[in-house]
A and B are shown apart, each in its own frame.
Chain A
Amino acid sequence: MVKISVLQHAPSTHLPARPGDPTPTSRNLDPLMHPFARARERTRALNAVKMERIFAKPFIAALEGHVDAVETMARKPGTLNVVASGSWDGGMIVHDISLRRHILRVDEAHKGKISGVCFADEDRLLTCGVDRNVKLWDTREVDENGAGPSDVRKPLNVFPGKSAFNSIDHHRTDPIFATASNIVQIWDETKSAPISNLSFPTSIETISAIKFNLSESSVLASIGSDRTFTLYDIRTGKAERRIVMQMRSNALSWSPTFPTTILLASEDHNLYTFDIRSLKTPSQIYKAHVAAVMSCDWSPTGHQFVSGGWDRTVRIWQEGRGTAPEVYHTKRMQRVTSTLFTSDAKYVLSGSDDGNIRIWKARAHEKLGILDSRERAAIEYRESLKQKWKTDAQVNKISRTRHIPKPVHKAGQLKRTMLEAQRVKEERRRKHTRAGESKPTAEKRKVVIAEQS
């Protein structure tokens, strides 16, 4: 018998005892033994950030169905996949975004554009349009009358108004909804006439959007054509405070985790967050769009939000970080008129002028699907490396760089030039006035012209 000497590994020393156990390590954790740790981690960070850019493919799908621009979208509370959208052609569609099909489609829901969509409790949907009606729909695929999705649906209820509606929002818990026309009206679902009117006295403006606060659900906010933002409370039944800004806002959204915070998408290419406890100055200005911001929506986490602009881009912002958002764009996407976060904060929807609703990943490089623990650990490690090394010039540059469409880029350049010119002019003006006469105003202080009570 020939004796064969072999290299022998005792599995117990280098393999986990049970599946799922951590692999036993035999390393020296003394930092002095690892003089190159820093260099190695930097390289890893660099690789991580490169990988992030390589795998940043956010576009998932486009949902078709609308003939005209998608004016408004609403997600069904408590669900991940049900989203209703209303279009300029008066068509209303309830999508199942996971299966990418229509749960309900009503082509002639309103005459003229549907200006607002929101879900009432459970399966019922409210739409309002410029035809001065608010309609209540049953979104179940087969309703009580046995009408399927393809059949012509009749609304459950119609609430006639006196003027064209611009927006609608439902109270979070109560069967109450608010509409915005030239005044704000509060409706009861069971009554055909509004139960109360709210308006700021001496204001003759068109209210363009209205939203109920999500946590403090009796508080309402609206924006109007008079460049105003108005705060209401249905408990006191009053328009409580109003601010007039430099430019009008196009959309607003309440933060789901910070009940005092409201986000306004302004015509002046910026977004503003306000703390409603002090409306004199915005708490943060978000600058990156190169055209008017048409829509905005908070992520359910309240740490991100999405905005869609006239510049044909969708941008995803980090709360509190006023610059360098994630930019999404495609060749065929037109002006983005509505944006929405899904309720798991993983996806973003954008409805645009071209009549499509696009589904994007909220984090462009995120891997979809099931991750095992090792992979997740690796991803988390990469993320924290990126975070740690973001001060490194090379890492930062790679993570910052975005290729955006030429028109957007050019518009950005132009905007920068103009702003710079403005700044220089202002500076010179200041230089040539008497010393101390004119002081530079903070950017935040310029936003609000007047706070009215």
Chain B
Amino acid sequence: MARAQKPKQSRRPQAKSLKQNNLRGFAKRQSLKSQRSSKYSESSDVYEYQPENVRRSKVKLQLEKDELDGARRDISGSEDEDDGPKRNGLRPRLVGENDDEGGLGSDEDEEIDSDEAFDESDEERFAGFNFSTKTKSVAKRKPQKRSLQSQNASASEGEDSAADDEEEGDPEDFIDVLDMIDGKGPAESADEGEHTQKEERPSASKARVEGDDVPHLEDEDEDMHDEEDEGISSDESEEDESHISPMDDAISASGDEDDDVGTSLHDLQSFITNLDAGQKRKAPDDEAAPTTETGEARRQKRRMLKERTEAGEENEFAPHRGATKLNLDDLLNPLASSSSNLLSLKKSAKILTSISAKNQTLSAPLPQRTQERLDREAAYQQTKEEVDKWSATMKKIKEAEHLSFPLQAQPAGRTSNLELAAKFKPTTELESAVDRLLKSAKMREEDIAQTESLKMNHLSVEEVSARRAELAKMRELMFRAEAKAKRVAKIKSKTYRRIKKKEKAKIAAKLGEGSDDEDMNEETRMKHEVERARERATLKHKNTGKWAKAMRARGDLDEDQRRDISEMLSRGEKLRRRIQGIGSGDESEEGEDDTEDDEEGAADRIKASAFEELAQLDKGSEGEEDSGRKGKSIFEMKFMKDAIARDQQRAKQMADDFVREMGESNHEDDEDDELTGGRIEESSGATIERVGGRVTYRPGAQQSQLRTVNSLASDTSSITLRSNDLPSDVARSVTPSATSPIPEKLGIATEAPNPWLAPRQDPAKAVPKKHEIAVSKDSASVEKSKNKLRKKAQKHEEEQSKARNDAAVDISMSNVMTLGDNSSAGPSKPKTRSQSGNQRDDGDDDSDVHSEVEEQERLLDRKGKGKANGVKAFEQRDLVARAFAGDNVVRDFAEAKRREMQEDAPKEVDTTLPGWGSWGGTGTRKAQPKPHLIKKVAGVDPTTRADYKKAHVIISEKRDKKAAKYMVKDLPYPYTSKAQFERSMDIPIGTEWNTRVGFQRGTLPKIVTKPGTVINPLEKLL
């Protein structure tokens, strides 16, 4: 501060003088203006004063100071007079009013007051610029800025300008001194501009004072009026200022620029001004009248007043007519050159100023550097915004999976048919020939149009219009129908479709009724046939369907549903009957049973149907016999008859066999499932049948039927389940194909001494067995007479079905097996139990394995209940046990696993060398192992092993070096999870594993550039 003070003080007088000189003309004009406006405002507009008052209250300080200054005040007032009007005169020409407003800001003024001494140089320059730059607002702003800058950096500039004005500036020296006496510190840069304005304001008031002499200028603008207001307010502000200035000095001595200080000062000042407001408001008016004489008197005392007028003369804007008089023309002349909108601008600015003055004070124009920085900031923001318009495009490019450069290449437009047709001109011979033909036939487009128009010619207007209307209607209808069809086709609702279908069917049925039956007969039958087939296929007749199940699950049913169900049942019944040929009471009963239990029901039904067939066969044969007697053919001959009888006999036997077997199996089923479906009472312990005194083994004549039984079972059950079904199957089955795979599977599944493994050893025994027991001695007692015949028949059969014999071997095998099973059930039970117990002891609680074992146990139990053939079973067991003696696979496995786990487990190894580092001899105690000699091997904790709690596997935890080559250490970058990465690596991309299109899509490079194509940078497109 102190440093800055000196040059500023020196400069100050010059500044003031310059200001005077330059602005005198303005002062005059302003005075006139103010005069006029004050009158105007007093007379008419009350509101004009209000803002002014407020503002005044704020700006008061300055005026007060002036008042305090006494003598100086007068002079300064006169000076200000000069300044103020001039500035105000320039103002309308400003494009941006900010500077002026800034000047008006009373807060800053107050701050400045303390620093008054500083400002003068800037004032000068400012004034000078004002003077020289007559028109442009920008021009005016510029000097201001410069002045601001000068505070920071260059004192030289100010001095230069000051040098010119020194002669004139003499009188101002007084004022400066006074200021100094007041204790005003050097002003900071920012305040200078305002200071000038501050100075101007009193001048305005002065001008008004002067204006008393001058005639009123009614036609002046409101703007002027406003200016004048400002003048008044500034007067008062100066007065206020004088009050506070001492305080200001005290505070601002530290540094006025600080905002904090400024704001605090502002607060204080505003407070004070509020206190004073009432008084001060009147002050200017009071002043106005009396000061005219006194002020002039004072002025006359000073020489400089004259000088000022001289300076005014030089100004274009202050035409010098008389000493004090100003004409309206003088004021209007420069205004006339300016545009009218400038005036309107002024008007709007007036409002602005009034508001701003009311509410807040305006900041001083910023230092140039700051201003420029702000400008740059704004410009940068602008550029950023502009550039940011590309962001969407850039994002799109960034995210694109495939880019084909150049990006903005114009897509080759497609030519329409019309375009082609319009352009077309026949060039080749063929084309021209065709064209000629068309021309001659008058079939070209234009010809067709012509003919149409010709035809239209001899129609009346009404007709044409009617036609057109009809056509339009048709088109409309067609279009609507089409649209509707489209809409309907889009409906996805199933219920809608169903309803639609039913409707259609109804309509069709109605139509069918209408038409004669003979015609439709074939067709309808076909339809019915198809319907039935579909019904069968969809199981609509059965209660296994989705709908039926849902119905069953539902419980309570209403009338319709009950009816539906009953209908379904009856239909199923009918169908079943159809399958079985005839309907019978038994069947119907069974059918009802079926509804209760599906699986069994299905089997039973088929069985039943088989029986039915048999019965029919019998009947048929009888019938045939009856009918055969009548005919006279080769069949009538004796040998033929014999043969037929034999055949029938055989068939009967087969039927008997079958019936027995089925009956037996039915019994088993009964035991298993407590079903009361069996109608065949006959039961036999074994499938080895004694027929006609001989034990025979029948190859599967009924194979096909029984197979269905098996297949049914296998369809519904998994492998383990199949083992569940096994006993009944095995018992039932005569088919080798059904039985043979099952033991194998079981063999895999079950544990070491497995009774199910037995049949594997047996077949060799079993095969001869069959042949051995072909005719047994026991059978002789049964029926000798028929034996011969049967023998023959058997021979014949053997000849015929040699192929089947192999299968028969299997049958016998299965029989043996079942026997064994039955017998072994009792003793095997505890054994398996114990074994499973062993497993548990080993610590393997794998339910998967055990479940199967247990399952079989249970089966065996069940078997045991059914039939016990103790001795045989025992033998079997024994045999198996002997065969697999010492073959403890499970235990071995468990042991191996335990060993593995133990090896891998973390452990501590004591690496102490006995004798080293310890005392020897008698009486020494064994030392504790030293901790540093205990090596800890970090292994794999058993609980963290992959095969933990998996009894049946050993998963090695050792690192596979060869596999490690293909491993990835970390998850590669774009992937977020292991699964994701694995999935991406799983899918091969080559042609061998993809379709052609898939391959192309998968291998399309991200960026495609064509060789020889210029790629231009992105452009803004219209």
Show the binding face of A for B, using Cβ within 8 Å.
22, 25, 27, 29, 31, 34, 37-38, 40-42, 44, 77-80, 172, 201-202, 214-216, 219, 231, 233, 236, 238-241, 256-260, 276-277, 300-303, 343-346, 377, 380-381, 383-385, 388, 391-394, 453
Contact = CB atoms under 8 A, between A and B. Distances in A.
B788 interface: no
A345 B995 contact: no
B995 A29 contact: yes
A37 B993 contact: yes
Contacts of B1018: 214-215, 256-257, 259
A374 to B, nearest CB: 11
B215 interface: no
A238 B375 contact: yes
B624 interface: no
Interface stretch (B294-302, B342-350, B1009-1017): B1009-1017
A202 B1012 CA distance: 47
B996 interface: yes
A232 to B, nearest CB: 9
Contact of B387 (A79, A172, A277): A277
B107 to A, nearest CB: 28
A259 B387 contact: yes
Given A344-B1009, A377-B1003, A44 B1020 contact: no
Interface in B492-540: none
A381 B391 CA distance: 33
B379 interface: yes
- Most chain A beta-carbon neighbours within 10 Å: one of B965, B972, B989, B1017: B1017
A216 B985 contact: no
B388 interface: yes
Interface in B989-1019: 989-996, 999-1000, 1002-1005, 1007, 1009-1019
A40 B993 CA distance: 11
Nearest to B378: A236
Contacts of A300: 405-406, 1014-1017
Interface in B349-381: 369, 372-373, 375-377, 379-380
A379 to B, nearest CB: 9
B990 A41 contact: yes
Nearest to B1004: A380
Nearest to A22: B996
Contact of A343 (B375, B1010, B1015): B1015
A5 B371 CA distance: 101
A22 B372 CA distance: 68
Nearest to B971: A391
Given A29-B995, A231-B380, A381 B1003 contact: yes
Contact of B380 (A215, A256, A453): A453
B1014 A80 contact: yes
Given A260-B387, A385-B989, A453-B380, A343 B394 contact: no
B376 A240 contact: yes
A276 B991 CA distance: 45
A201 B1007 CA distance: 43
B989 A41 contact: yes
Interface in B283-298: none
Given A258-B398, A344-B1015, A453-B373, 20 more contacts: A37-B993, A38-B985, A42-B966, A214-B1018, A240-B379, A258-B390, A259-B394, A259-B1018, A277-B387, A300-B1014, A301-B403, A301-B1007, A303-B403, A343-B1015, A343-B1016, A377-B1003, A384-B1005, A391-B972, A393-B965, A453-B376
Interface of B: 369, 372-373, 375-377, 379-380, 382-384, 386-388, 390-391, 394, 397-398, 403, 405-407, 965-966, 968-969, 972, 984-986, 988-996, 999-1000, 1002-1005, 1007, 1009-1020
Given A29-B993, A37-B988, A346-B1011, A233 B379 contact: yes
Contacts of B991: 25, 381
B383 A231 contact: yes
B996 A257 contact: no
A380 B1003 contact: yes
8 A-B pairs with least C-beta separation: A256-B1017, A300-B1015, A214-B1017, A236-B379, A240-B380, A37-B988, A380-B1003, A384-B1003
Nearest to B1006: A303
Given A201-B372, A215-B1018, A257-B397, A80 B380 contact: no
A172 B1017 CA distance: 10
A258 B968 contact: no
Contacts of A38: 985-986, 988
Contacts of B994: 29
A450 to B, nearest CB: 14
Contacts of A301: 403, 405, 1007, 1009, 1015
Contacts of B966: 42, 392
A33 to B, nearest CB: 9
Contacts of A346: 1009, 1011
Contacts of A231: 380, 383
Contact of B390 (A22, A27, A259, A383): A259
Nearest to B964: A393
A215 B1020 contact: yes
Contacts of A393: 965, 968-969
B992 A37 contact: yes
Nearest to A31: B993
Contacts of B1002: 384
Nearest to A279: B380
A244 B618 CA distance: 112
B1001 to A, nearest CB: 10
A29 to B, nearest CB: 7
Contacts of A31: 988, 993
B1003 A260 contact: no
A258 B397 contact: yes
B1008 to A, nearest CB: 10
A384 B989 contact: yes
B403 to A, nearest CB: 7
B376 A238 contact: yes
11 contacts: A34-B988, A231-B383, A236-B382, A240-B383, A260-B390, A276-B383, A276-B384, A302-B397, A385-B989, A388-B989, A453-B380
A38 B963 CA distance: 14
Nearest to A347: B1011
Contact of B1017 (A202, A257, A383, A392): A257
Given A216-B387, A260-B390, A377-B1000, A345 B379 contact: no
B400 to A, nearest CB: 11
A383 B1002 CA distance: 11
A345 B1009 contact: yes
B357 to A, nearest CB: 32
A80 B1012 contact: yes
B394 A258 contact: yes
B381 to A, nearest CB: 9
Nearest to A371: B1011
B149 to A, nearest CB: 11
A385 B1005 CA distance: 11
A401 B739 CA distance: 65
Contacts of B373: 453
Contacts of A219: 383, 386-387
Contact of A216 (B390, B965, B1005, B1009): B390
B1005 A345 contact: no
A344 B1012 contact: yes
B990 A216 contact: no
B982 to A, nearest CB: 10
A27 B995 CA distance: 10
Contacts of B388: 260, 277
A42 B994 CA distance: 16
A118 B203 CA distance: 62
A303 B1006 CA distance: 10
A141 B1014 CA distance: 22
A215 B1017 CA distance: 7
A238 B376 CA distance: 7
B1000 to A, nearest CB: 7
A41 B996 CA distance: 17
